Structure 1
Amino acid sequence: MHSTNRGHWTKIGIRALRDVTVFIGAYLLANYVRFAELWHIEDFIAPILAGAAALSSSVYILGLYSVESQRRSSFLIHGILFTFAFLIAFLIITLVGYMSFDLRIGRGFMALGCVFSYPVLLGGHWLIYHKHRIAPERIAFVAESPEELAEYELLRSHCPPGVQLVGRIGIDDDPEGQEDFLGRLRNARKLIRQHKLDRIVFLEKRAEDEKARHEFRRLRYLGLACNSLISVCEKHLNYVPLHLVTMGWLLQSESTSRSFYFSKLKRFFDVTTSIILLLVLAPVMLVGMAIVRIFSPEGPVFFRQERVGRFGKRFQIYKLRSMRLDAEKGGAVWSTISKDPRVFPGGAFLRRYRIDEIPQLLNVLRGEMSFVGPRPERPEFVTKLSRVLPHYQERHMLQPGLTGWAQVCYPYGASINDSKCKLEYDLYYLKHAGVLFDSLILLDTVRVVLGGGLKTANQNRYSTGVDFDLEASSEAEPVADVPEMTTSEGSTIGGLAQA
């Protein structure tokens, strides 16, 4: 009874496919209206496809498909950004047309295509933006024990966007005078029809109850949606609240084998892309080296630091130095992207636009890291975080990366609670990692880099709100280290992190 919902990339793919279909269909209709037939469509299809690809890519980079997690303050801002993406698509069609006269789309044809596509596309995005209010998913939560009742109250106060909590369902109790109590689980089919429920939700521990498990299975075989709360959070939050994660979820989250992707395809992409980027970004790195030498001439240009990679293997990362030489004379401290007194003038610019991380492409080429993966941490922090954050070592099961789902969804972390939030994104990535999801993360990275990094975190997180005391945890017993391992080829896999 684990997650049956679509992953992030599937939801995004459906929205992008809808835009691409409308865009291409509108231009085909414009061609027919303009010429009373599909005239020379074989010549025009190339610029139309290029424009459709540019539109969907631009819309995603601007965060307009991930509207639940990238929600703007109003649809007006969303609409302005979509208009900008549409203009990029228009520009791409024009540029492709100039490659050959036969590919060039005439002004009348182009104008009709814009008239037919833009209003429909904008209307579709209006529906995406307001979907959480127009058609929310109506759920009922099975809650009877003190733990479940506490979770029910948390769900009422921090209900994910796109979800409407209708009420509570009990197992044996039948309290009087509680308007939010819908009835007993044994009457679930009647309650679903009466309250128009889309899904019944429960904690995974409730599935261990024989009586409840029998009812859940019966509902599932009747075709009625019945899932654990953590799967609903996956679907609507794109992260997994740490207090809901169980060992059962971790063991059963892997539904299909991804050995070929992780051992072959991903490594091939890392090698080829790192070589290309090292050549393309060489001028940018030279500028970064000059900034380091101008603003901090007393120290080395490059910086090395030990990190914990896959399966606990330690290695040295390479970066352009962005801090003073005495930045950590008192020991390792948390890093922030701004207002960090340890960063010399010019170093903040290198960090904001990730220029300081270009040398880490050498780590990718050497097989010590990947482009996409959980952010590796310093050994000092890993030891402390493993003591206070449950399942923290799970993030070392995959190869760390230059960028990752946590990095594009959450800003720089400077506390134990920030590490907890990022771990929730990392655990989500561990379950859904794949070719398409990694590709979307790379597109997200473009938005983050061009925007100068994420500015603020989502304050209304679905969380228990527990404050972790990192200093007090140093007195606790240490967690056993993850054993170091190597790949079948004998090369070590590691990772990097931002200093």
Structure 2
Amino acid sequence: MTSLFGHDVRSDLLVLYLAETGAVFLAVYAFAVFGVAPDAAFNARDAGLVAVAVALCCGIVVGASGLYRPEVLSRSRRLVAGGFVATLLLLILTWLGLQLLTPARDPFSWNMVGAVLLGCVLGVAVARLGCSTASRCGLLTRRLLILRDAPANLTGGREAEAVRDFLVPVFMPIESVSDGALTTEWLRAQRIWAVVAEPASLTEATRERFREAGLRVLTPDELDECRLNRVVPERLPANWLHTARGAQSSRFGAFLHRVLDIVAATAILLATLPVWLTAAALVRLDSPGPIFYRQVRVGLRGQHFTLYKFRSMVVDAEVGGAPRWATRNDPRVTRLGRFMRLTRIDELPQLLNVLRGDMAIVGPRPERPGFVEQLGRVIPHYDDRALVKPGITGWAQVNYPYGASVEDARMKLAYDLYYVNRRSLFLDLIILVSTVRVVLFQEGAR
């Protein structure tokens, strides 16, 4: 794993992203300089500008299409679908970008658009082929030294379950620490990346020796958090919030997040205004009742606020006002409401909550007071998610499907607390890019 601004990223996927970005830059630059036709050739300066912009956009588009997700890489149908979506998005962005970067040229130069797309496809294909070959040769794997109390247990346990995919475990008994077998030379020869051991198994002097050798020292829980990008609420210490980024945000950090929320919400609202008008008219025609749905939710530090959505259910969907989990093929959902929920159009009015300051663009999903009270009694640290503003999208929303049970709420809390613990603008950017994937492929909607 590689830590970027506090967020752990799989090293092999980071290498893939960097390789693709570099390969796309070189391919697009070559096509832009030499061109596929005389009118499509650029000078070196313009070609470099176009190549940099396209390479950066290509990485974002590939990520937004879900093509950096490990489970997608092994599913051919999903890979093809993601590739088609990525190509379509790149086509649109390339045409728009060329008009902005080179306004003096013919804005409809399909030769240049084709050259850029060809460079992207060629660069991505070459990078993925190279990374796939390197992965099969073991060049992108990370080796973990897992220290256990007894040799008899070295072949199983939660540590072994947590180190699949690109992490290769090396099991050794805890006694090897004191008998001098774990020398710096041996650790380097084995290409050990991190040492995993129970907190009480290692002395502070031993931990420092491992750190001086350039190794990370992790507990089994920390290994799970690094690899899975979520925490286990039941295993969090009572004082974990003392080091959580979400709980330690400075005034400047809060101000910066607020400014970015206002700018993003305003831009999205203006860009989607035609969708608002169309949705409002169709909701009115589809079923009797108001256009907007108002509901009390729990926000920052437990404060209640009124959340706005386009109405997607029939009027009086909850008889007596008792909260109910939404289910798959819920009969309360209208015909138009089902489409709006799949495409997340019903959540657009939450932009008004962002502008009012009730919500942020990114954060835990705001829940209803009844659910918060119920879940807070049975799930440890559930109320800790309220230390940051709730968001329209969030780390749990892009990593776990719609929750409809206590166990689902427990899993989503594991992602929410990871976000609270490691909150940063970099993680927010990853969430926003992943949200595009969730919307395009209708993941987890009900």
- State the TM-score, normalizing by the size of structure 1: 0.74
> Aligned-pair distance for 1:312?
1.0
> Aligned-pair distance for 1:138?
2.1
Aligned pair partner of 1:335 in 326, 345, 351: 326
| Paired position in structure 1 for 2:263 | 272
| Paired position in structure 2 for 1:138 | 143
Deviation string 1:203-261 (CA, Å, 9 cap, x unpaired) is: 3xx24x6x544322222223333222333333322222334433355433449964256
Deviation string 1:254-285 (CA, Å, 9 cap, x unpaired) is: 49964256421111122233233333323322
| Paired position in structure 1 for 2:196 | 201
Say whether the 8 Å CA contact 2:225–2:231 is kept in structure 1: yes
| Paired position in structure 1 for 2:411 | 421
> Aligned-pair distance for 1:422?
0.7
Aligned pair partner of 1:189 in 173, 182, 186: 182
After TM superposition, the structure 1 stretch with the greater mean CA deviation from structure 2, 390-399 or 81-90, is 81-90
SS at match of 1:306: strand
| Paired position in structure 1 for 2:226 | 235
| Paired position in structure 1 for 2:72 | 71
Q: Does 1:170 find its partner at 2:174? A: yes
Deviation string 1:354-413 (CA, Å, 9 cap, x unpaired) is: 222122111111111111001121111112211221221221111111110111111100
Aligned pair partner of 1:100 in 93, 97, 104: 104
| Paired position in structure 1 for 2:63 | 60
> Aligned-pair distance for 1:118?
4.0
Distance 2:95 2:352 in 1: 38
| Paired position in structure 1 for 2:45 | 42
After TM superposition, the structure 1 stretch with the greater mean CA deviation from structure 2, 4-13 or 376-385, is 4-13
Say whether the 8 Å CA contact 2:366–2:391 is kept in structure 1: yes
> Aligned-pair distance for 1:31?
5.7
Aligned pair partner of 1:410 in 400, 405, 415: 400
| Paired position in structure 1 for 2:160 | 156
Gaps of 5+ in 1: 172-182, 456-497
Distance 1:382 1:358 in 2: 23
Q: Does 1:292 find its partner at 2:253? A: no
Compared with structure 1, are the counterparts of its residues 260 and 44 closer, same or farther at alpha carbon in structure 2 (3 Å cutoff)?
farther
| Paired position in structure 2 for 1:85 | 86
Say whether the 8 Å CA contact 2:293–2:311 is kept in structure 1: yes
Compared with structure 1, are the counterparts of its residues 292 and 450 closer, same or farther at alpha carbon in structure 2 (3 Å cutoff)?
same
Distance 1:395 1:150 in 2: 36
Gaps of 5+ in 2: none
SS at match of 1:198: strand
* Residues 467-486 of structure 1: pairs in structure 2 closer than 5 A: none
> Aligned-pair distance for 1:52?
2.3
* Residues 428-439 of structure 1: pairs in structure 2 closer than 5 A: 428-439=418-429
Compared with structure 1, are the counterparts of its residues 256 and 224 closer, same or farther at alpha carbon in structure 2 (3 Å cutoff)?
farther
* Residues 299-310 of structure 1: pairs in structure 2 closer than 5 A: 299-310=289-300
SS at match of 2:226: helix
Amino acid across the alignment from 1:437: L
Distance 1:250 1:127 in 2: 42
Amino acid across the alignment from 2:287: S
Distance 1:357 1:151 in 2: 48
Deviation string 1:110-158 (CA, Å, 9 cap, x unpaired) is: 75x777764443232245568776343222323339xxx7996123345
SS at match of 1:322: coil
Amino acid across the alignment from 1:164: V
| Paired position in structure 2 for 1:122 | 125
Q: Does 1:347 find its partner at 2:337? A: yes
Distance 1:226 1:86 in 2: 42
> Aligned-pair distance for 1:321?
1.8
> Aligned-pair distance for 1:425?
0.9
> Aligned-pair distance for 1:290?
3.0
SS at match of 2:349: helix
| Paired position in structure 1 for 2:21 | 20
* Residues 378-417 of structure 1: pairs in structure 2 closer than 5 A: 378-417=368-407
Amino acid across the alignment from 1:198: W
Distance 1:47 1:194 in 2: 43
Distance 2:165 2:323 in 1: 38
SS at match of 2:436: helix
Amino acid across the alignment from 2:182: R
Distance 1:447 1:103 in 2: 29
Say whether the 8 Å CA contact 2:246–2:388 is kept in structure 1: no
Compared with structure 1, are the counterparts of its residues 31 and 101 closer, same or farther at alpha carbon in structure 2 (3 Å cutoff)?
closer
Compared with structure 1, are the counterparts of its residues 39 and 290 closer, same or farther at alpha carbon in structure 2 (3 Å cutoff)?
closer
SS at match of 1:375: coil
Say whether the 8 Å CA contact 1:201–1:227 is kept in structure 2: yes
| Paired position in structure 2 for 1:486 | none
* Residues 209-220 of structure 1: pairs in structure 2 closer than 5 A: 212-220=203-211
Distance 1:19 1:247 in 2: 43
Distance 2:178 2:110 in 1: 64
Deviation string 1:70-89 (CA, Å, 9 cap, x unpaired) is: 43433675366346535654
Compared with structure 1, are the counterparts of its residues 381 and 150 closer, same or farther at alpha carbon in structure 2 (3 Å cutoff)?
farther
After TM superposition, the structure 1 stretch with the greater mean CA deviation from structure 2, 84-93 or 384-393, is 84-93
Distance 1:446 1:437 in 2: 15
Distance 2:148 2:125 in 1: 41
Deviation string 1:22-53 (CA, Å, 9 cap, x unpaired) is: 22223334566679xx9722233443334223
| Paired position in structure 2 for 1:361 | 351
Distance 1:161 1:107 in 2: 42
- State the TM-score, normalizing by the size of structure 2: 0.82
Distance 1:31 1:356 in 2: 42
Compared with structure 1, are the counterparts of its residues 431 and 10 closer, same or farther at alpha carbon in structure 2 (3 Å cutoff)?
farther
SS at match of 1:25: helix
